[in-house]
Structure 1
Amino acid sequence: MKKATSVDLDKIITDFIQLEHKIIEMKGGNTKLEIQLDETSRLLKLAQNKEKQLIEEKDGLLETVKVLQQTVQQQCDLRVENQKLKSAALQMKKENEVKLEENKAHVQRLEAEMRALKNQHQRELADFAKETQRRLEAKDAEMKVALEKNRCALEQMRTQIREKETEKQSQIIKLQMEFGAKLARAQSMTVKNQTHTQASSPLPQNIFKRKLQFIQEEKNKEIEALRQRVRELEQQSLHGVIGSHQKRRKN
């Protein structure tokens, strides 16, 4: 036999309605959750974009900070280098001041030495001028003596020339007289010997002429040699006087 079961329809309907309400509520909740999820996704995407932008800004700021750090480091290095350069410049300035003082002292010593040398040079010039004047005076005295000797020698040579010329003239006159006497004796011979005399007379006449010519040539040579010697002495005297005057002008 079938067992009889009793079903409470009201309760079932009530439960079903409650279930249906819960399902509707759950669907509503799911819809809200989906909306919230979409909003959350949108916010998450915005947040991610913002994060990416912030990261990029952070990286840019870090690079800027790095550059600034490098700049600051360079500035620090430059300050240190400037300080070193200032110290070196100060040291060089002190050294230059010391060297300047030393140079001034050295210049003063040199000036003193130059003044001493100048005074010594002036004294030497004065002594040299005195010595030169003394030598010139001595040379003038020697030149005067030499000129006097030359003048005496010239006068003596002129006297010798005059004596030679006088002697030559005397010898010429003597020879002419001898020749005239011999010619007169030859012409006064007898007519008997006239032919013989005429043939032989040219011989003594030619001999006397040649002798007279030879004596004249010898005397002329001696006179010319004496005149040449006189000219040489006059030239030597003239050159000596000119040289003395030129030396005086130079000094």
Structure 2
Amino acid sequence: MNKNLPHAVRVIRAALASTGSDPAAAIAHALNDSRLLVDPEKSFGAVLRRTPAGSWTSEQQPQPTELEQQALAWDKSCERARQVAVGIKAQIGQHPEFQNVQVDKDRILVALHITDQAQWVQWRAWFGITHDKEQPLPYAVAGDGYRDGIRVSVVAYDLPQAQARAVQSAKRPFQLDGIVYDLAVPLRDAQGDVWFFQGQRSDDGMPMLSIDGRPERCSLANIVTHVGPLTPVTDVATPVSAQGGEGA
């Protein structure tokens, strides 16, 4: 119960007992004199507001201009980039390919040292980098991706050299989206199925592969897209083709 009610009852009774031609006015004035009525024009405490600088003030702050809003948004983006960079270092800082991470205003710069192109396949997926966003450099490949909504520019040092070694070591090299595949050996997909190239290609030159010598074939591009990445297998025998001979 409101603790002011007994006091209000006493004030009203006293007002009614007083003489006057307007009892309602007498009651209202009596309540006001007893501070039992709230004046909406008065504040019984200071209202503090946070300033853009982080301090507190009782003064009404003007709305920021469009330029000020853009500056505040920029500061938030830069701070967000710093937070994401800390998270990236915590997640991948112990990987042997990781070299360093830096913050450049509202984006993040990551340096990797790649010794095998399979490493780049994994990192490209982790950063969300697509092949069309890659930029070849003399001793590296650069690519832009995103982590937690922040743009990340990744430089993969020595990746061109790793790709060159893959071409030299492959008996039947074929490059797709910057990755060299050796069609002379079976390729295992992410689900564990093993694919074989038996010499067939599509009209545009894309290799067609099959599982265990089956007649159904799928393009290398579709296999990589849907069940990649692919890794070479050296302990699986080449299957016999449907025509009765060893695959080409």
TM-score bracket, normalised by the shorter chain, equals: under 0.3
Identify the structure with bigger relative contact order (alpha carbons < 8 Å, sequence gap 6+).
1
What TM-score does the superposition give when structure 2 sets the normalisation length? 0.24
Larger Rg over CA atoms: 1
What TM-score does the superposition give when structure 1 sets the normalisation length? 0.24
- Kindly indicate which of the two structures has a greater share of residues assigned to strand: 2
